[in-house]
Structure 1
Amino acid sequence: MTDWMIEYVYDDRADERDRLRPEHRAHLAELAAAGRMPAYGRFDDEGPAGALLIGRAETREEVEAMLDGDPFMVAGLIAERRIRRWPAVWA
């Protein structure tokens, strides 16, 4: 399996994100339970609203498919999604 770095940049609809957050987190937790998402979390600094996710899949297309079902993506709350192959070194 290959590790992938995924960066979400959210749009400005924070109220809608708050409403959908339980579904969004449930989706990510399901991926984590399946061994496909070992880490994820939102940024809480002064930068733009967004999140960093670490995914596991063989191909970029697999990563895109598992993220396309994210309720935030379905609702159009993600203004930008960057996916990069990440040959991580885990301690």
Structure 2
Amino acid sequence: MALFAVEYVYDPARTSEMDPVRPLHRAHLGELHGRGVNVASGPWVGGRAGALILVHADSEEAALDVLAEDPFFVQGFVISRTARQWNPVIGEIA
């Protein structure tokens, strides 16, 4: 399995709608973390509406597929997703 960086871009017009769904979103990502799929995840800071999620997967398509049931994605808050294979060479996850 490879490591993929998945970037979410959220719909800035719907950020207030995300709060009630956030616990479900975090529970879903937490479950993926418990299975060893989600290595790390969190929102961008500084006004950028989106997040970065590091996942173990076999391909870019598989990285997106594993996040297809994320409540934020299902509810349409994510307006674009990009997956790129990442090769960390230094640090705790290298």
The answer, yes or no, to whether TM exceeds 0.5 is yes
Give the 3-state SS of the residue equivalent to 1:16 in structure 2.
Answer: helix
Mind listing any 5+ residue stretches in structure 2 that lack a counterpart? Answer: none
Taking the TM superposition and a 5 Å limit, the aligned residue runs for 1:1-91 are: 1-11=1-11, 12-46=13-47, 48-91=48-91
The Cα RMSD (Å) is: 1.1
Q: Give the partner amino acid of 1:29.
A: G
- Cα distance in 1 for partners of 2:2, 2:84 equals 11
Spell out, residue by residue over 1:36-79, the C-alpha distance to the aligned partner (whole angstroms, 9 max, x if none). 01100001213x21101101111222212211100011011001
Say if 1:32 and 1:90 are closer, same or farther in 2 by CA, change over 3 A: farther
- Cα distance in 1 for partners of 2:81, 2:59 equals 16
**Percent identity between the two aligned chains:** 41
Q: TM-score, normalised by structure 1?
A: 0.91
| Alpha-carbon offset, residue 90 of structure 1 | 4.4
- State the aligned residue count: 90
- Cα distance in 1 for partners of 2:2, 2:90 equals 13
Mind listing any 5+ residue stretches in structure 1 that lack a counterpart? Answer: none
Contact 2:6-2:64 at 8 Å conserved across structures: no
Contact 2:6-2:81 at 8 Å conserved across structures: yes
